[in-house]
Structures are given as C-alpha cells and as structure tokens.
Amino acid sequence: MSGPIRQSLGPAKATLIRAITEAKTLLDERPNQNEEIENWTHWTQKLKNANLKLERTLSRISTLTENWTKVIVQSSAEQAERENTLYDAVAGGEDGLLVKIEEANDLAVDLATSIEIGENAIRQKSIDSDRASSIRQATPNIHSQVRLPKNSLPEFYGDLNLWPSFWDNYRSAIHENAHLTDIDKFNYLNGCVKAKKLIQNYFITEANYNLAINKLRERYGDEERIKSNLRAELKALPPSNKFINSIRLTTDNIDRIIQQLSQMGEDINQSFIKATIEEKMPRWILLGLEKAKNREYAKWEEDEDQEPFIWDTEK
C-alpha cells in the first residue's frame, strides 16, 4: 500500500543528503571580514539558495511521511503492523530518515543565522564604502599623511609572554594616534594580530574597535598570568652544557625572562628564581660566580661606599 510513497521517499532522502552536504560546505566558506562586499553578497545569496533547497526538500518529505501515516491509520491491524515495520526500516537507524531530518533542521537554523550575519556585513560594508567615499571627497590628502609603513608595525601571534611588548608598541604607534580613525586603527589591528580567532567575529566598524581591543586585553593583558607563564618558561629552560654557545643562549634567555618579570614588579631576588637559574648553569660557572661574589663582598666590607657584587647576565 505504501509502495509509491517509499519509492518517492528514496530520491527525496538522497536529495536531502546532498542539500545537507552543500549547506555544510557553504557554512565553512564564510568570507573573512576584510573581503570585498561582492564576496559577502555572493556567499549570502548561495546560503539563501541552499536554505530554500533544504526547506523544499524537508517539506516534500514531510508530505510523504504524512501520507504514509494516513495509510497506516487506515489499514487493518495486520497491514498496519507491516507498514510500521517498513516505516521503521526507512526512518530508524544512524543513517535513517529521522536523523537526516533532524540534521537538516539544525542546519536550517545555522543557515538562517549565517544569512543574517552576511546581510549585516553587506549593510555595514556598504555604509563604510559610502563613508570612505565621502571622506576622500572632503579630505583627499588626509590618509596619505597618516598612513604608517607596514614594516614599522608590531605583530602578535598569540604568545602571552610577548603581549606586553606588542601592546606597548601598538599603543604608541596606532592606538593613541590621534590622526587615525577607529576604522583605520581596526584595519591596522587586523593586520597586526595574526592570532585572529579572538577578534574574527567582530566586523571592522568604529563601534567594534574598542570591543576587539578590550577582548584582546582581557585575554592577554593579565599580568599575573604573564608572570606565571614567564616563571614556567624559566623553569622549563633546558640546562646549558659546557660549551660557550650553549651558556650564552641560556643566559640570554634567562636575562630576557628576568627583565620582563622585573618590569612587571616581580621580586627577581626571591629564592625560587635564584635556585631555578642555578639549575640551568654548569657547576664551574656557579663556582666562578661564587668566588667573584666573595671577592666583591670582601672589598665591600673594606669600603662601605662600594656596592656589593650582583650577578648581571649581560656580563
């Protein structure tokens, strides 16, 4: 009795699976924020087409399953049991029709959200384009006066320990530059920050610039986390061997970490730091330093105006 319905459901399910695959591919092809308005327009239209195809296929399947339900209801008890078995074979299982329908419904929500994102991007880029055109017409030379050479800008790849240096340089060159608009600053920020996951969902607008900056500072600007990372990095440094190049590399790394900790107010004379540094150096270096320190303290005891010896890794 349900033979014609089942014959129609097979192709409908195949169409639904193709529509699901196409929709997933499109969602992964979302343009970057700095791409042209044409790319956003093309992507958004493809999403609308995919969503329409999904809706039509789901509607067709819904009609067929409703018809099958009517057949079951109108059948005798024996025939209804056979039809229910047939329906379970089609609808049940990991790759059954019901699973695909649920997956398609979830994708329809994602498509609707992405279509809204695309339309917002198109609208904002259109506004930005009109604004930029007006600015160029009113003040044609202003941007040529304030653009900075790309190679003078700092870059940040997501290393927490390098954030203070990046932020100090970026703040001086861009963030506190009174000649740049927030749109300009956001474009520079987008070019400087290579670890983009944190800010990739912010469209480049004046209103979003400070939101993106605050997000970055919340993630990377916690001094206690940075100091903890630096202490961990110091602890993880491999001990130097007896060769001068290895000793120089180790002392350079120690000096870099100690300088950063000192700049953030860390007490670099605490026993943990001293003990950790000693673990990284060959014994003959430590003995030499101890002898030198003892000689300096002996001199200091003779001359109270002289400063005692302190190990400087730059020496």
Q: What is the pLDDT of residues 251-261, one digit of tens each?
A: 888 888 888 88
Listed residues 199, 221, 243: the one ending a domain: 221
Strand partners, 206: none
* Residue 105 and residue 83 share a domain: yes
Domain membership flag for residue 237: yes
Domain membership flag for residue 194: yes
Domain membership flag for residue 278: yes
Q: Where are the alpha helices (DSSP H) in the chain?
A: 3-28, 37-74, 77-91, 97-138, 142-146, 163-170, 182-192, 206-220, 223-236, 244-263, 271-280, 283-302
Listed residues 204, 221, 238: the one ending a domain: 221
**Degrees, nearest 5: CA angle 246-249-255:** 140
Domain membership flag for residue 149: no
* Residue 58 and residue 79 share a domain: yes
pLDDT band at 282 (very low <50, low <70, confident <90, very high): confident
* Residue 116 and residue 30 share a domain: yes
Mean pLDDT of 203-226: 86
Q: What is the pLDDT of residues 240-281, one digit of tens each?
A: 777 777 778 888 888 888 888 888 888 878 887 878 877 777
Domain membership flag for residue 314: no
Q: Find where tokens 């963030």 sit.
A: 175
* Residue 167 and residue 107 share a domain: no
Residue 149 reports pLDDT greater than 50: no
Domain membership flag for residue 308: no
Q: Which residues contact 204 (CB under 8 A, 6 or more apart)?
A: 33, 34, 128, 183, 186, 187, 190
Identify the three-state secondary structure at position 221: coil
Domain membership flag for residue 151: no
Mean pLDDT of 65-73: 86
pTM: 0.43
Residue 314 CA to residue 267 CA, distance in Å, equals 19
* Residue 230 and residue 207 share a domain: no
- More confident site: 126 or 32: 32
Residue 98 CA to residue 216 CA, distance in Å, equals 43
| DSSP letter (8 states) at residue 312 | -
Q: Which residues contact 236 (CB under 8 A, 6 or more apart)?
A: none
Residue 166 structural domain: 160-221
* Residue 168 and residue 116 share a domain: no
pLDDT band at 55 (very low <50, low <70, confident <90, very high): very high
Mean pLDDT of 7-17: 91
Per the structure, the count of domains in the chain is 3
Give the Cβ contact number of residue 40 at 10 Å: 24
* Residue 121 and residue 40 share a domain: yes
Q: Are 203 and 120 in contact (CB under 8 A)?
A: yes
Residue 62 reports pLDDT greater than 50: yes
pLDDT band at 293 (very low <50, low <70, confident <90, very high): low
The residue among 175, 192, 51 whose CA lies nearest residue 116 is 51
* Residue 112 and residue 100 share a domain: yes
Identify the three-state secondary structure at position 153: coil
Amino acid at 47: L
Long-range contacts of 214-221 (CB under 8 A, 24+ apart): 217/167, 220/156, 220/158, 220/160, 220/163, 220/167, 221/163, 221/167
* Residue 92 and residue 6 share a domain: yes
Give the relative orientation of helices 37-74 and 3-28 as an angle to the nearest 10 degrees.
160
Residue 146 CA to residue 185 CA, distance in Å, equals 11
Widest Cα–Cα separation across the chain: 114
Domain membership flag for residue 267: yes
Identify the three-state secondary structure at position 193: strand
Residue 134 reports pLDDT greater than 50: no
pLDDT band at 137 (very low <50, low <70, confident <90, very high): very low
The residue among 240, 259, 260 whose CA lies nearest residue 251 is 240
Listed residues 120, 135, 150: the one ending a domain: 135
